[in-house]
Each structure stands twice: as C-alpha cells, then as structure tokens.
Amino acid sequence: MEPETTNCVGGIQRLYHYLETNRDSYDLILNAGNTVDLNLFATLKFGPIEKAMELLNFTAIGIGPNLFNFGADPAVALYLNLLANNVVASNLGVVSTTYEFTSTITLSLNDKLNISVIGFIDSKIINNANPYGVTVTDELTAIKDQVTKLKESNQNVFIIAIGSTSEETAEQILSSTGVDLVIPVISGRTLEPPPTNPKETLFERKSSDSVLVTVIKTSKFPFLLGDLSIELDGNNAISDYSAQVIDYSESETTKNSTVLEFEASTLQKYQDLSVSLLAVSDVPLNAINGICNNQECTLGNTVTDSIMWYIKRNQNNAAIAVYPGGGFQNTLISEGTNITGKMVETLFVRDAYLYQISLTGRQVKQLFEVSAQNIEKGNKNEDWLHVSNSMSVLYDTSQPIHRRVVSVQTMVPPASELSRIDLTSDSEKHAVLVPASMLSTDSYSFLKTSGTDISVLPVSVVDVMKLYLQANNYLISAPLGRRITYKYSSSDQPTVQNNTGIVVLVTLIITALVAGGGYLIWKYLLPRYRGRSSSTIHLVELSGSGTTYGL
C-alpha cells in the first residue's frame, strides 16, 4: 500500500490482523475455496495467492473452479504442491501427474470429539468450465464415501463439507450425505438490492441436527467474515448455534513486517506488469482480420522471440519456440502506442503456461505439417505456427498435405548459425516450447501423448512477453518473411502486411474474493495505483539483408 493512500479498506493487512488477534478463539478457520476469481490472478498468477494462503494460515482450504483456468499442471506445481497439507478435495483428480488430493483433514479437539473437514467441488460447475487435465467425479458420492470412512474409524466425529457449488447442490449434500455442516461458496448467488443486514442470508438452520451456511456476493458487503459457534449434545449432534457477521473493512491493520512487505511487493509487481508503461511501439503489433494466421507478423515474431529470450535467460537450451496464429485476438497496437501490461493481455485469446516437450525429428516434421495442412484457408488457418528468430522453416505448398515441410533449421547454443534437423530421425531429440492452449486442441493434442520429458514452466506466454518488453531498452524486429519461407514462385507468395489501426484501452478494477471462517469474502487488494516511468522499448523494422537481429 502506498504511504499517501489513506482511504483503502479491507485488504490482507486487516484480515491478517483480525485472524491473528482472534485465532485462539476459533477451533477452525476455513476457506471455502473462492480464492482465484479475480483480475489479480490473471496478471500475477499463483504466486500471490499461494503466499496469501500461507500467511493467513487456514485450517483447511477448498478449491474453486477458476484454480484450473491455466490447466491442472500449473495449479499442481505452483499452488497445490505448496499447500498440500491444507487443501482438501474429495472428488478431484489430475490426469497428467501422480498428484493426489487430500480428501479430508481431521482435528482432535479433545478425547471425546474429532472434527473432520471434507473438500469438494460441484461437478457441474467445473465440467462446464472444462479445465484441462482435471478429472471430476460426482461430489455427492465422493462425500458419502468419505463420511462412511470417517464414521467407521471414529464414531465421535463432527463432519464439515466445504467447497464451490450451487445452493441446490449444497442442500442435497446436507440432506443426503451424512455431514453435519456445509459451508459452500454459492456460485453466482447475488441479491439485488442487497439486504441491510446480511446475517439472515449468511446463516440458515436447515434441520434439527444440521446447518447450511450460505453466502451472498454483493458490492455492499465485500469484507465479511462469518463467525459461527455450534453447541453439540452428548451424541455430537447440533443442539444450538449462534452466528454473526464481522465486517473487517475498516478494522486495525497489522504491523507484521512479513505481511506488509508481501503486500507492498505484490502491488509493485502488479503495477509494473499491468499499469505501468512497458514499451513504446515503433511498429504495429497487428492481428487484425487473421493476418497472423497464414504468414509471419510482427506480433507473432515478438511473442516467439520473447519466449526464447526467457529460455536463454534461464539457461535452457531449447531452440524451438512456436505460437499459433489462432491464439491472437482480432486486435492491433498501433505504431507509437505506449504499451502497458494490461494492453499485452488483450492481444491473446487466452493466456497459457508454457510447456517444454522433447520431440524426435520426425515429430518436429509432424508439428509443422499440421501448421501447413490448412494453408489454403488463408487467414482462417488458426493452426499456423510462428517461430522464433533462431529458426527457419521451408514449406512446399505445391505438395499434398503431410508432405509440405521441406526443412526445419534451428540454432542450438553455442552454435552461431542455423543447422538442419533430420526430419526422418526417430532418435534425435529436440526441446520444443509450446503454449498449453495448443495441447488442448485436436490438431496438436498428439504433442502431449507422443512427446517425452514433458514439463510445465513457471511462466505463461503473457508473462514472458511482459518481462521481455520490460527488460529491454531496444527491441529490434527483423524483416518479415525470413523465418517462414515457401518453395514456389514469387508471384504466388503471400504479401506480408503491416496494418495500423486503433488501440482499444481496457480499464479494470482489481479485486479478489476469499471464503473462510464460517464464510468470508475478502477484498484482496484495492489501493490507488500511480503510474511510474519505465524503460522505453522501440520496435524497429529493418529493411535490407536477410540478417535476423534479436536480443
């Protein structure tokens, strides 16, 4: 938070202070899972969310469907593995790894009573979101199975279910699975106008021996903690309960230096990668009317070059980086535009984490055959691949499909010139960098089934492009039409275009929601942002020789 900002409300400082001050008063502090439904996540990904969950120290953390927006592999590697002792999910699995979710966390309160927390997620919600690499089973069945196991091993157990779901499903869980308490993040539930006092909406008694905690999402109540006290009888059934809603929006802030440093660094990083100036464009970054779908374009070259820049910076020897033309929005950053991180995000249909995959020479050929098989579709060929400045691909479009790739050349460090790949080899391996979005398409799904040594990198395509623009004072773009060439007459060769146009600026409000306690809504960070000066990047198009200039 900036020192001169005095009108901020909510935030991790106040939430942390409340939880730490009152932690001894609670047996459990729960986060029901609505953790990553926010714009901050789109920019900074898993790092701040994982760190915030660690600092807030919840007893158990549920999972929301948006955790898998970037696929299961990044979620596992960058979030779930780091919070394995707190995250609970009884009906989720991961296809591509050996990761196993913890279904239940059990705490012993005394020699007569245990409390168990079962995590779940509504299968209808997550299946509609179609997260890549996640398997989902019926939540009612999964919860019933866990309840049976818990009661077989311990008769004196009080069972709580937490997770993202609909109100209808939450009531089914309460009435049919044997749990004692359900704390759901109710998907899409809003009340307009919001009630004056949300207490009766947050807590509802559903039967003589169980309670369903429901929630509202309205702008009037963004900083709420649900405080729920339950009295049990001799059979560990609910005899009575009391509930209150705690508004921490203007409560005291923490003095904890770790929390303050975390918030300050997160806000600065967000400002640097979203709000502040990254570059000034001296050539258009153009994807209007599918121009990047059948030929080189400045935007495609910049993206693949940024991937290779990141790889070399991190001492990785991969020499092949590709990005499909169909991954760009129908948009344009005009010459002379001041480029911000948010503007970079608008260039892509969706952001995607980078994967490194080892392919044989024959599989490299197959990769580029797919790129060229629909070249006759022109600007509708969304499979068309752009390549980095350390590569050259030659096509012969007079040949039938699957026979159009003539040669692929790469430059593998420490070599200083291009060398040809043996496209018939089944033994020679090549490290290829692709966005996760390619792996979920029908055209390129073979990469993840036939490739080897598959690993997800800790960055996305948007991440590396932002870092690339931020880190370099001058970005020199080589002449177009040099990386992808064609073996046919010049009269047939498509004209490489550079169109200019209007840049659309998008203004976003940054919010974050978290569910916890009985149920909490956490307005994550809402400071006043101030732009700052940054390095100026010039994208310069050179004419003349076929030399490729890059950083």
CB 344 within 8 A of CB 337: no
CB 287 within 8 A of CB 333: no
Chain length of the chain: 551
Residue 32, beta-bridge partner list: none
Strands 30-31 and 60-61: parallel
Please choose, from the candidates 535, 549, 462, 551, the residue with its C-alpha nearest in 3D space to the C-alpha of residue 280.
535
Q: Which CATH superfamily is domain 11-268 in?
A: Metallo-dependent phosphatases (3.60.21.10)
State mean pLDDT over 137-152.
Answer: 94
CB 418 within 8 A of CB 393: no
| 139-143, 470-474, 495-499, 518-522 — most confident range | 139-143
Q: SS3 string of 176-194?
A: HCCCCEEEEEECCCCCCCC
List every span in the chain annotated with CATH 3.60.21.10.
11-268
pLDDT in tens, 319-350: 899 999 999 999 888 888 888 888 999 999 98
Instruction: Determine the distance from the C-alpha atom of residue 61 to the mean position of all C-alpha atoms in its chain, rounded to a whole number.
Output: 18
CB contact set of 231 (below 8 Å; sequence gap of 6+): 238, 239, 240, 241
**Quick one: pLDDT band at residue 280, thresholds 50, 70, 90?**
confident
Exposed, middle or buried, 315 (CB in 10 Å: 0-12/13-18/19+)?
exposed
pLDDT in tens, 457-467: 999 999 999 99
Q: Identify the CATH number of the domain defined by range 292-328+351-458+481-490.
A: 3.90.780.10
3-state helix, strand, coil in the chain (%, to 5): 30, 25, 40
DSSP string of 225-256?
A: EEEEEEEE-TTS-EEEEEEEEEE-TTSPPP--
Q: What strands, in cross-sheet order, belong to the sheet with 157-165?
A: 104-110, 113-121, 157-165, 181-186, 210-213, 203-207
pLDDT in tens, 27-45: 889 888 766 545 678 888 8
User: Residue 224: in which H helix or E strand, if any?
Assistant: strand 224-232
> What CA–CA distance (Å, rounded) separates 417 from 405?
21
> What pLDDT, on a 0 to 100 scale, did the predictor assign at position 411?
85
The conformation of residue 365, written as its DSSP 8-state character, comes to H
Residue bearing tokens 């797919």:
370
* Percent of the chain predicted with pLDDT > 90: 32
* Percent of the chain predicted with pLDDT > 70: 75
Exposed, middle or buried, 426 (CB in 10 Å: 0-12/13-18/19+)?
exposed
> What pLDDT, on a 0 to 100 scale, did the predictor assign at position 222?
55
CB contact set of 9 (below 8 Å; sequence gap of 6+): 223, 249, 250, 523, 526
> What CA–CA distance (Å, rounded) separates 29 from 27?
7
Residue 333, beta-bridge partner list: 285
> What CA–CA distance (Å, rounded) separates 281 from 337?
5
Alpha carbon separation from 263 to 52, 78, 456, 516, 524 (Å, rounded): 9, 19, 27, 20, 10
**Quick one: pLDDT band at residue 276, thresholds 50, 70, 90?**
confident
State mean pLDDT over 420-432.
Answer: 95
- Using alpha carbons only, give the angle 192, 197, 202 rounded to the nearest 5 degrees: 80
CB 73 within 8 A of CB 80: no
> What pLDDT, on a 0 to 100 scale, did the predictor assign at position 501?
30
DSSP string of 133-152?
A: TEEE--HHHHHHHHHHHHHH
**Quick one: pLDDT band at residue 523, thresholds 50, 70, 90?**
very low
List every span in the chain annotated with CATH 3.90.780.10.
292-328+351-458+481-490
Sign of the CA dihedral 307, 309, 314, 315? positive
503: tokens are: 């840049």
3-class SS of residue 218: coil
Phi, psi of 93 (to 5 degrees): -140, 165
> What CA–CA distance (Å, rounded) separates 14 from 307?
39
CB contact set of 516 (below 8 Å; sequence gap of 6+): 29, 30, 31, 32, 56, 58, 225, 522
State mean pLDDT over 41-60.
Answer: 90
Instruction: Determine the distance from the C-alpha atom of residue 158 to the mean position of all C-alpha atoms in its chain, rounded to a whole number.
Output: 35
Please choose, from the candidates 366, 388, 413, 382, the residue with its C-alpha nearest in 3D space to the C-alpha of residue 465.
388
Residue type, 72: A
Residue 486, beta-bridge partner list: 395
Please choose, from the candidates 2, 18, 74, the residue with its C-alpha nearest in 3D space to the C-alpha of residue 41.
74
pLDDT in tens, 532-546: 333 333 333 323 333
8: tokens are: 């901020």
Strands 484-486 and 391-395: parallel
Sign of the CA dihedral 335, 337, 341, 346? negative
The conformation of residue 400, written as its DSSP 8-state character, comes to P
3-class SS of residue 217: coil
User: Residue 429: in which H helix or E strand, if any?
Assistant: strand 429-435
CB 520 within 8 A of CB 226: yes
